[in-house]
Amino acid sequence: MRVLIGLLVSLWLAAPTAAQLYDVEEQRATYLAACEAGDRYACGYAIALYQREDAQSWLTERNVALHIRACTLGLDGSCWKFERRMEPNPYAPVRADPERFFPMVMSGCDNGSTMACWQAGTELLALGREDEALDRAGRSCAGGYSDGCALQADIEASRGLDTRHALAEACYGARPGYAPKASYCEQACEQGDGRACYSRGNIYEWGRDGYQPSARNARRASSFYERACELGYELACGR
């Protein structure tokens, strides 16, 4: 539903200027007020209106400030902005400043962002607050974010805990991030998860590991498909 709403809003914002039946500045002021009042989606709409008006708006301090506000309120897409790795990167100063970044992602996690929960978990782990890191990683994983599951699996493994669920979700979670999935798929496959074996085979066949390119190997792909089939994962049979 959120994806559909976002698409509809994008189409609306992309309508020709001549066809506009609203005052852009007035609408933006409405969104900014709602953003300040705690509506994370309004923050996103305000950002989009600024961007429509000026294609370079994303480089401004105003844009960064709005994304900080939106992430704090739990908007996943805004939290993701602070993981940007390409230049120019107007979000880098915030990402590098724990006094700004840490409170933002902690609040974002509390407000429902699975991305922020992973970010908060990563920061907490670096601070040696492992129990809290595991909790945040678990929240991220429960929301379907595979990097959160990967973090959860890593912490559980370091503690000698049962990693099966987190490994599987890190492998075939619906929302991959930067974390490579291959090693988690292999570990889950070794634990008897047919779908994970199949996913590992796909990585070898397609040469894509989440967002990252990876080595292609048809023989290894076939081997993992065969193992997945043996474990009862029917989609792998005959591959």
Confidence of residue 6 (pLDDT cuts 50, 70, 90): low
User: Counting Cβ atoms within 10 Å, is residue 23 exposed (0-12), middle (13-18) or buried (19+)?
Assistant: exposed
What CATH number is attached to the domain comprising 205? 1.25.40.10
Final residue in a domain of this structure, among 62, 97, 132: 97
Q: What is the pLDDT of residues 66-114, one digit of tens each?
A: 999 999 999 999 999 999 999 999 999 999 999 999 999 999 999 999 9
Q: What is the pLDDT of residues 183-231, one digit of tens each?
A: 999 999 999 999 999 999 999 999 988 778 899 999 999 999 999 999 9
Residue 204 maps to a domain: yes
Segments forming the whole domain that contains residue 199: 181-239
Strand partners, 175: 145
- Size of the chain in residues: 239
Number of domains the chain is built from: 3
Tokens 């790795």 belong to 85
**Distance from CA of residue 140 to its chain's centroid?**
9
Q: What is the pLDDT of residues 23-65, one digit of tens each?
A: 899 999 999 999 999 999 999 999 999 999 999 999 999 999 9
Mean pLDDT of all residues in 153-170? 96
Mean pLDDT of all residues in 138-160? 95
Residue 185 maps to a domain: yes
Residue 12 maps to a domain: no
Residue 175 maps to a domain: yes
User: Counting Cβ atoms within 10 Å, is residue 21 exposed (0-12), middle (13-18) or buried (19+)?
Assistant: exposed
Residue 105: HSE in the Cβ half-sphere, 13 Å Cα cutoff = 31
34 and 68 in a common domain: yes
Final residue in a domain of this structure, among 72, 97, 122: 97
Q: What are the angstrom distances between the C-alpha of 130 and each of 103, 179, 190? A: 17, 19, 26
What CATH number is attached to the domain comprising 138? 1.25.40
